[in-house]
Amino acid sequence: MTGRSLDPGAAERRMSRIVGSGETLSREDVIWALDYIRKKVADGAPALQGLPQPRWLTCFEGFAEASMSLLRSPRSGPLEADRLRRKLREALEALEPDRP
């Protein structure tokens, strides 16, 4: 789950699938996405340099909401999966502003 891939585009493709598809969203997918975002922040992603505070707060809110959702309910239905995707997308937009 947290291992590095030999294919540098594999993580980006997986993240795109998680936040952009209508596929079933598993708990493992959400945990993987949160870890991906955490690593990007810890590594000092270039997009974060000079990011305005309101954008940081939106990113953090998305990350925190997705994290808390996992703690509150280990199982989620389609509505919760859509909400989780939106929150992960919010968190990711600050890190990768060019993501479609």
- The total of other beta-carbon atoms located within 10 Å of residue 55's CB is 16
Q: What is the pLDDT of residues 36-66, one digit of tens each?
A: 888 888 888 787 788 888 888 888 888 898 8
Which of the listed ranges 24-33, 66-75, 76-85 does the model predict with the highest average pLDDT?
A: 24-33
Taking the C-alpha atoms of residue 19 and residue 21, their distance in angstroms, rounded to an integer, is 6
- Region 18-24: mean pLDDT is 77
Mean residue pLDDT of the chain comes to 79
- The total of other beta-carbon atoms located within 10 Å of residue 43's CB is 10
Please state the domain extents for the chain.
25-95
Which has more confidence, 37 or 78?
37
User: At 24, phi and psi to the nearest 5?
Assistant: -60, 135
| pLDDT confidence tier of residue 35, bands split at 50, 70 and 90 | very high
